[in-house]
Structures are given as C-alpha cells and as structure tokens.
Chain A
Amino acid sequence: MLLLLGMLLLTGCAGMPRIVAVDTARASKTIYACENAFPGGKWQFAHVIEADLPGGRDAQLIGVTEVSNHPKRIHAVMMTIEGLVLFDGLALFDGLEDGKLTINRSVAPFDSIGFARGLMEDIRFIFLKPDGAPMDAGITENGFEICRYRVSDDAVIDVMVRPDRMLEIRKYTNERLIRKVVAELTPGSVPEKITFTAQEPAGYRLNLRLISAEQISTGE
C-alpha cells in the first residue's frame, strides 16, 4: 500500500502539471512574472557550488559565470576551492552560431565535450529565459503561476512562480522530468541560493550559493 502511495506521489511530482486557463490579463501578468524571474541583460556571477554527484560522491567548487541575453551567450569557469581552473568554456545559443562551443581550458575529469555541453545546457537552463514566447500560461492546481515553453520537439520547460516567492523551473523530455531548479526570487536582484537537480540520465544535485553578482553594461 505504501509502495503504491509512494509510486503515485512520485508520478505526481514527476509529471507535467496541468495548466488551469486564466483570462488574458492574468495570463499577461503571469508571463511578465515568468520572464522577470531571469536576469536581464548581461551578468557575471560567482558561486560556491556544492555538488552531490552520482555514486554518493560530493564535490565543492567555485563557479564564475557570465550570462548574456542578447546575444544568448555563456562564459563559464569552474575552479577548485584553491583556485585551480578546471574548466573554462564559452557557448553561444543564438542564430547561426547556436550551440557553438569553445573550450579554453579543461582538466580531467572536466575535459570531455559531453561534460562541456552538459554544463552549458545546465547553466542555460538555470539563468537564461527559454527561447520564444510561452505556448501556454496560467496557474497550476497548486496555485503556482506557470509559463510553458516548447524548447524542442520532445522537450518542454515550465517556469513557475510560487506564492511563497520561490522560482521553480522544470524541464521535461517526453513528459518525464529531467531537470529542476528552485530559487528564491529577490526582486531587482539575483537569488542568493539556487538548487539544481538533474534526474536523468545520471542524477546529480548542485547547490549554488552566491558569492557575488555584477551587472555588466551592454555597451561593453
């Protein structure tokens, strides 16, 4: 019985939430809330990253991330506590150069293309608003404001603003939850803490604690 209940709960958590239709004015307000949940313009962040990795391994790293919305671009550096740079890479997600990846430096075990692509996709998921307009917007049965974006033929991203001012972002592939972000919304600023969970193919969890955030003028 408990097993059955557990399975039902698990299914309930992992499945895509149903969106309850709202009127146009409410939908517009919801879309505004969703889009403002992401940092606008160009920012540079430094985070302490606590990683719970597959196999029960833990790791502590420092991450420096520069994210830009126009053009969509990510520059990411990962280093040890002692300052040794393990990874330095640049990714573009705009126009003809969409998906272009440049690795400036990589040290094992961060020296595979697969790692670099996965890292950039995760950073994009955390910090950049999904492309295009939402395919749907409204509220969930829990009362969360929600915007749903189709990001590929089989993938959907839900951006949810909860009544407790927490931001929740979920990515589904074929309606299965594969990525999740939870962060506290801080109006006019950036979240102090972000929790990122990857469900598949290998589960891992990252807790990001903000060290510094600098907005960079777009004239640079």
Chain B
Amino acid sequence: MARNGRLRNLRSKWPALCIVFLFMAVPCARGGDWDRIREKAIDIQTISAQFDQEKHLEILIKPLISKGAFYFRSPGSLRWEYFSPIQSILLMHDGRVRRFIGSESGFKEDAGPGLQAMEMVLQEITLWLKGEFTDNPNYHSSLEGDNKIVMVPRNKAFAKIIQKIEILLSDRPGVIETVTIYEGKTSFTKIRFRDVNINQGVADTLFESIP
C-alpha cells in the first residue's frame, strides 16, 4: 500500500520532475564545485527554450515526437508547454500550480490529484534554483567527463520507474543540450533543447494565463 502510494506520488510528479532535472543540471554543469555552482545559479533570472521530445520504446517502429517550449523566471514561475501531439500547459506561479489540457473546445483546467504533489515539487525547485540540490537524499548525482551529469535514484521504488537521468550540457554556459530519462534499457525519453535564452526577460502573462 505504501509502495503504491509512493509510486502514485512519483507518477503524479513526473512532469515537474522532468523540469526539476532540467534546472538541476544548470547548477551542476560547471565542474563539480558546488559552492561556485550555487553562486552561478543565483545569476539565472529567466530562461526560455524550445524543446523536441523523443520517446523511444522497444515496441515503437519510430520514436514518438512531442514538441514544446518552457519559460522560467526566478524565484518560482514556470511554464512547461507541449504544442503537439497534445496541447498542454503546466503553470507554476505565486506558489500555485495549474495545469491546462487543450482540446477541440479549447483549454480545460485539469484539477487532478497530481496537482497537489506538483505544488510540493515547486518548493523543491525553488531550493534547487538556489543551488541547494546536493541535499536531496533521493538521488545520487555525478559528473561524467566535462559535460554529462548522471542522476540515479537512491530509492528502490523510484528506481523501478526511473533508472537514471542523463543531462548533457552545451558548451554555452548554463545551457543544456539534452536530458534523457531512462525507464529501462530500451525505454527512454530524450528532450533536446534549442533556441535557449537566458536572462533575456520573460513576460508575466506567460505564467498567469493561457494559452
């Protein structure tokens, strides 16, 4: 029962976790000196980027492609948006988390039970954005080579769902090239970021309204 609860909790946190990993990578990026990384993380005020997401499964003849964009503004405003194949928008602003799903009749707010869990995750994101990510007991993070961060869940229940996350950093400081989330040897999700803008301003309305 407790295991099911943990798994359910993790499932509901999945979208937010993806975002968390994304931002965790930024402070992790520069060389393993966590204090210096924390200082660099404080400098990031806004981020915006487009992304292409590939889902690979053993069964799939071709990977499933999703496209979207995200916007972040410090200390805790976030918009994670899919354009296709499903239109969906996750908004985090003023401590409130809202999710909207697009349909033929327009966007509809999704008030599922997962939202409560996402609010909790938002608090974690805020901490990580301050560079305070090494205190998270749920993951072991390591730097491979110059530009690859590998995160492995410590919790066995979590590890059954996500085996590891690999974050590949771009040569450009503070920019991530890809995030790959492995669920198994042949099942993984790769998110490629492009058109990344840092500290170039993001409009308030993006976090307050849809679309």
Task: Give me the interface of A with B, judged by CB distance under 8 Å.
Answer: 44, 46, 48, 50, 57-60, 62, 64, 66, 75, 77, 79-86, 88, 105, 107-109, 111, 209, 211-212, 214, 216
Considering the complex, give the chain A residue whose CB is closest to the CB of B57: A77
B11-A59 in contact (CB<8A): no
A85-B59 in contact (CB<8A): no
CB distance from A153 to the nearest CB of B (A): 34
Residues in chain A near residue B88, CB distance under 8 A: 60, 81
Contact of B64 among A59, A62, A111 (CB under 8 A): A62
Considering the complex, give the chain B residue whose CB is closest to the CB of A112: B4
Is B66 located at the chain interface by the 8 A CB criterion?
yes
Q: How far is the CA of A120 from the CA of B201 in the complex (A)?
A: 49
CB distance from B58 to the nearest CB of A (A): 9
B189-A66 in contact (CB<8A): no
Considering the complex, give the chain B residue whose CB is closest to the CB of A65: B59
For chain B, residues 63 to 84, give those with C-beta under 8 angstroms from any C-beta of chain A.
Answer: 64, 66, 82
Q: How far is the CA of A84 from the CA of B189 in the complex (A)?
A: 8
With most chain B CB atoms within 10 A of its CB, the pick from A46, A66, A75 is A46
A107-B55 in contact (CB<8A): no
Q: How far is the CA of A79 from the CA of B53 in the complex (A)?
A: 14
CB distance from A61 to the nearest CB of B (A): 9
Is B7 located at the chain interface by the 8 A CB criterion?
yes
Residues in chain A near residue B184, CB distance under 8 A: 105
- The main secondary structure of chain B at its interface with chain A is mixed
B59-A77 in contact (CB<8A): yes
Considering the complex, give the chain B residue whose CB is closest to the CB of A106: B7
Number of B residues with CB within 8 Å of any CB on chain A = 32
Is B62 located at the chain interface by the 8 A CB criterion?
yes
Q: Between A and B, how many residue pairs show CB distances below 8 Å? A: 83
A-B contact pairs, 26 of them (CB 8 A): A44-B60, A44-B61, A48-B86, A60-B101, A62-B85, A62-B86, A64-B57, A77-B59, A80-B11, A81-B66, A82-B14, A83-B55, A83-B66, A84-B11, A84-B161, A85-B183, A88-B59, A105-B183, A105-B184, A107-B7, A108-B5, A108-B7, A108-B11, A211-B85, A212-B64, A214-B61
Is B205 located at the chain interface by the 8 A CB criterion?
no
Residues in chain B near residue A216, CB distance under 8 A: 61
B189-A82 in contact (CB<8A): yes
Contact of A86 among B11, B55, B62 (CB under 8 A): B11
Contact of A80 among B15, B57, B108 (CB under 8 A): B15
Contact of B57 among A50, A85, A107, A111 (CB under 8 A): A85
With most chain B CB atoms within 10 A of its CB, the pick from A84, A86, A108 is A84
B14-A84 in contact (CB<8A): yes
A66-B55 in contact (CB<8A): no
Q: How far is the CA of A44 from the CA of B59 in the complex (A)?
A: 9
B4-A108 in contact (CB<8A): yes
Considering the complex, give the chain A residue whose CB is closest to the CB of B18: A82
Known: A50-B103, A86-B11. A81 touches B59 (CB 8 A): no
CB distance from A39 to the nearest CB of B (A): 15
Residues in chain A near residue B4, CB distance under 8 A: 108, 111
CB distance from A9 to the nearest CB of B (A): 26
With most chain A CB atoms within 10 A of its CB, the pick from B64, B108, B184 is B64
For chain B, residues 1 to 45, give those with C-beta under 8 angstroms from any C-beta of chain A.
Answer: 4-5, 7-8, 11, 14-15, 18
Residues in chain A near residue B181, CB distance under 8 A: 83
Q: How far is the CA of A211 from the CA of B11 in the complex (A)?
A: 23
C-beta contact mask, B84-121 vs A, less than 8 Å → 1, else 0?
A: 01101000000000000101000010101000000000
